[in-house]
């Protein structure tokens, strides 16, 4: 670096460091702006992920149902599930529904996988616990109230059916088979003892069901058949979901994958509104920062009119004055941008922890973007006062007491 450049750096640094009290005010204005800009930027980019995670608590957003007249094959279900990237797949749960009787009243039994049910239905509230395995069940709250049931009780849902020639009765105990003396038709009352491990509360139709394992429902119904529905929870945008569904439906013959419109539609609506809101707030903050920095820089430069006049009297050209003052502004902008981008990350993290209860995803690209934005905004904000500084008449400002 030659002596002239060294002197230039020395003057700029001396102005920034030895006029700390003045510069701190300008720096603060830039830091506040950069902090909010970087913070809102992080939130803006993280909102879809955070909101998606939030929406997953409202349950599955995709269902697989059998095509008309077909049974969903396990192979196609697995293939369909394989379409979702593993980092986006929250979980999937199959269900088989059967009509049975309890105390001679009709009740619906749902066979499912308890190991995955809370991943697709995180809103389930269980008084007690999930069944540990076969022989246990969850009873919906409404049903429990209707039958006066509570956790720890044992129930015996009944599968009552007419025995036809196509039914294999070899595994049915003799005691469960009886014959209508008048018609000679044979019937079976097959039941299964199930211990209630918990009462299920959801506020929805689930409270009318009894949930058992898939093995138990097969035992009770004395047959195996395909699932009625598979609920899938995927953390993805509306567009990504559509792409996944298209891919699954293009190849599957036994099942149809559908979005749960209630969830996906409100998710994309809320997301787009939230993104717009954050974007508008970011732009407003950017404009306010620029005004704030411009005002501060105007004050800083105005109080240095005499110095500018002196520099001109010592032979400084207009271009030198612009370069010196703009450099000070740009160094301030860069310093404010660096500090602001770090504080912005902390700010976004605090907001995220308070609003979404999870940490913000650090986006390294936002750091240089914030610093560059801060430098550009400060540079632009400095231009107007510097323009007026160039017009300073040294003869006027250096004169007088």
Partner 1 sequence: MKLLELKNVTKRYGSLHALDSVSLSIDKGEWIAIMGPSGSGKSTMMNIISCMDKPTEGQVIFDGRDITKDSRKKLTEFHRDKIGLVFQQFHLINYLNAVENVMVAQYYHSMPDEKEALEALERVGLKDRARHLPSQLSGGEQQRVCIARALINSPELILADEPTGNLDEANENIVLDLFRQLHKEGTSLIVVTHDPEVGEVAQRIVRLEHGRIVSDKRNDSFSE
Q: Which residues contact partner 1 by CB under 8 A?
A: 2-4, 6-8, 10-11, 14-15, 18-19, 306-307, 310-318, 320, 393-395, 398-399, 401
DSSP 398: T
Q: In angstroms, what is the minimal distance from the CB of 325 to partner 1?
A: 13
Q: Which is nearer to partner 1, 17 or 365 (CB)?
A: 17
Q: Closest CB to partner 1 among 314 and 365? A: 314
DSSP structural state of residue 294? H
| Residue 395 beta carbon to partner 1: minimum distance, rounded to whole angstroms | 4
Closer CB to partner 1, residue 115 or residue 320?
A: 320
Instruction: Say how far residue 9 (Cα) sits from the centre of its chain.
Output: 47
Q: How far is the CB of 337 from partner 1 (least distance, A)?
A: 23
Number of H helices, E strands in the chain: 12, 13
Structural tokens at position 210: 């009894």
Which of these, 335, 327, 340, lies nearest to 382 by C-alpha position? 327
The CB-of-329 to partner 1 minimum distance in angstroms stands at 16
Considering beta carbons, is residue 4 or 239 the nearer one to partner 1?
A: 4
Closest residue by Cα to residue 241 from 275, 269, 268: 268
Q: Rounded CA gap, 358 and 52, in Å?
A: 12
Q: Using an 8 Å Cβ cutoff, are 39 and 344 in contact?
A: yes
CB of 315 to partner 1, least distance (A): 2
Question: Rounded to the nearest whole angstrom, what is the least distance from the CB of residue 31 to partner 1 in the complex?
Answer: 22
Q: By C-beta, is 242 or 306 nearer to partner 1?
A: 306
The single residue listed with the structure tokens 């905004």 is 377
CB of 388 to partner 1, least distance (A): 17
State which residue, 287 or 313, has the beta carbon closest to partner 1. 313
Residue with smaller CB distance to partner 1, 6 or 225: 6
* Sequential DSSP letters for 69-125: T----HHHHHHHHHTS-TTTEEEEEEEEEEEEEETTEEEEEEEE-HHHHHHH-TT-E
Judge whether 340 and 38 are in contact, CB under 8 Å: yes
Do residues 80 and 64 make contact, with C-beta atoms less than 8 angstroms apart?
Answer: yes
């Amino acid at each position: 670096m030659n002596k002239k450049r060294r002197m230039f750096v020395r003057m700029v640094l001396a102005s920034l460091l030895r006029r700390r009290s003045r510069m701190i005010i300008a720096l603060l204005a830039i830091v506040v702006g950069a902090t909010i800009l970087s913070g809102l930027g992080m939130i803006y980019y993280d909102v879809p992920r955070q909101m998606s995670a939030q929406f997953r608590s409202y349950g599955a957003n995709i269902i697989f149902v059998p095509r008309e007249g077909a049974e969903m094959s396990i192979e196609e279900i697995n293939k369909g599930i394989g379409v979702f990237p593993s980092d986006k797949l929250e979980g999937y749960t199959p269900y088989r529904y059967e009509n049975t009787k309890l105390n001679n009243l009709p009740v619906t039994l749902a066979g499912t996988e308890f190991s995955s049910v809370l991943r697709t239905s995180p809103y389930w509230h269980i008084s007690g616990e999930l069944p540990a395995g076969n022989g246990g069940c969850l009873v919906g709250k409404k049903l429990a109230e209707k039958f006066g049931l509570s956790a720890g009780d044992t129930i015996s849902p009944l599968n009552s059916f007419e025995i036809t020639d196509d039914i294999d009765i070899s595994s049915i105990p003799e005691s469960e088979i009886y014959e209508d003396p008048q018609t000679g038709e044979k019937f079976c009352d097959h039941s299964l003892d199930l211990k209630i491990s918990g009462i299920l509360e959801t506020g929805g139709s689930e409270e009318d069901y009894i949930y058992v394992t898939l093995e138990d429902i097969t035992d009770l119904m004395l047959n195996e058949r395909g699932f009625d529905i598979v609920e899938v929870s995927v953390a993805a945008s509306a567009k990504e979901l559509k792409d996944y569904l298209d891919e699954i439906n293009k190849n599957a013959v036994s099942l149809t994958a559908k979005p749960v419109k209630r969830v996906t539609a409100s998710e994309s609506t809320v997301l787009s509104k939230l993104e717009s809101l954050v974007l508008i707030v970011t732009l407003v903050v950017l404009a306010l920062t620029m005004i704030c920095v411009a005002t501060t820089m105007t004050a800083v430069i105005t109080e240095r009119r005499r110095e500018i006049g002196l520099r001109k009297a010592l032979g400084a050209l207009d271009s030198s004055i612009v370069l010196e003052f703009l450099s000070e502004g740009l160094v301030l902008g860069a310093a404010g941008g660096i500090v602001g981008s770090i504080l912005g990350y902390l700010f976004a993290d605090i907001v995220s922890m308070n609003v979404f209860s999870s940490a913000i995803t650090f986006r390294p690209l936002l750091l240089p973007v914030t610093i560059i934005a801060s430098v550009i905004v400060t540079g632009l904000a400095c231009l107007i006062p510097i323009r007026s500084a160039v017009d300073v008449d040294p003869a006027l400002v250096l004169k007088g007491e």
